[in-house]
Amino acid sequence: MNFKSISYFLGLSCFPISFLAFINILYSSYFDYFLSIDTYFTTLLFSFLIGISLLYYGKDSLKKISFIEKLFLIITTYFLAASLISIPFYSSNNQITFINSFFESISGLTGTGFSIFKNIKYLDPTLILWRSSSQWIGGLYFLFFLIVIFSNKKFNYKMISLTYSGESNYTSEENIKNNVFKIFIYYCILSFGIFLLFNISGMRLFNSLNISMTLISGGGFLPTDYLADIILSNFQKIIFITSLLLSMFNFYLVFNIFDSKILKKDHKEDLYLLFLCIILIISIYFNSNSGLDLIISVVSSLSNSGLTLIKSNNLGLYFLFITIIGGSVISNTSGIKLARFYILIKITSSEIIKLISPNSIINKTIFGTDIKITDDNVKISFLIFISFFLSLFILSSFLVLDNIGFEKSFKLSILTLTNTVNSELFNLEYLNFANLLTSSKISLIIFMIIGKIELISIFLIFKKILFKD
């Protein structure tokens, strides 16, 4: 392992947390929340010093690391960032243990939304803002990972090559910096746009800020106990749906919306997602009179957010399986993803057609584009499909030992692997994570990360360690 180069990039990941801590210090000072301001000074100091130290250690390295080392960097970034983000939770007046603080931090970074807190509205507003910030920075990190690291053609199990991912020229350090900067600017523009729309709709400024950071990252943290407390009008619901679509569709879609050539060529996956969304809404429309609330539930499930306005329903299992499909490949969603389902269904139907009519000409393109589905694409899709259910079995086995019942263990495992919050949508809103066994919390922490990077990443790292080549 090239630890010097890894430490250099790891050091860079600390500075966004320093910036967020500085923002919270300003917020605390402006609104006179001095009770917890020291914790953000501590976070700022620790993250800055650790970042500087890691940069200094790796400053003379080649700044070039292999794909397996990049995977190790991603996992290390999650654990280091979560440790720094957990400082305000651990140091707060809520008497939270370190494992609970770390759990909350990982849940935020991965956009899952599981929380050890109850009665959110009684929390210190700075801590609520910090929770939302952890999701925002986690969403940004994942887009960096997805587009810069997982675009590797040799290890294409994220299938980035099958959909548009912006400029894919990462042959030099300068090109990487330019693309990372562009992702950051796009992400900030989208976040600010959502914030502005909610603010115009009449939502409180504090709620607008928190909900915008939650939605752009596909997260599940809220500034209140229930979404119905902050989404009141139909206009706000429409903005909410639009925001969920932004996190579900291709990250670059909104910036190519007026370019018909690129739109037709590189965003067919988003069109298929939209059709699927419409079909799902129609399929349950006659069983529900919820209107916009129903649309929110379907889009929220597909975008792996899980936030809903429906208090109780008998379609929890239906929505649960929608979360597995996930959204676009180039998005903050998790799950198996639509592209992989599409490949498996298309190849399976092609094989059936061959049996019936051997002389038939089979179209092996994906989403009607010029890109052909290769044998490697099929193998990877099948492998990810199997690894998802293997992860589901392993995590369920650990959780069922916690005496929460098989059904809840199964549901919670799916939500963990798809990084989706345990809301009323799935009838799991009363689950108390603070009371779970430490072993269950550790299992959830590990599989929340696996939900983002895939189980195959762990296998590749073990292979590198055990079979050095």
Identify the bridge partners of residue 372 per DSSP, sorted by sequence position. 365
The model's pLDDT over 19-56, given as tens digits with 9 standing for 90+, comes to: 999 999 998 888 777 778 889 999 999 999 999 999 99
As given in the structure block, the two tokens for residue 20 are 């967020």
State the helix-helix crossing angle for 98-109 and 67-91, rounded to 10 degrees.
Answer: 130
Residue-wise pLDDT tens for the chain (469 aa)?
778 888 989 999 999 999 999 999 998 888 777 778 889 999 999 999 999 999 998 887 777 888 888 999 999 999 999 999 999 999 888 888 999 999 999 999 999 999 999 888 888 889 999 999 999 999 999 999 988 888 877 788 888 888 766 665 555 566 677 778 888 999 999 999 999 999 999 999 999 999 999 999 999 999 998 898 899 899 999 999 999 998 999 888 888 887 777 777 778 888 889 998 888 888 877 666 567 888 899 999 999 999 988 876 777 888 899 999 888 988 999 988 888 888 888 888 887 887 787 776 667 788 877 788 888 888 888 999 999 999 999 999 999 988 888 889 999 999 999 999 998 888 888 888 998 999 999 999 999 999 999 988 888 888 777 776 5
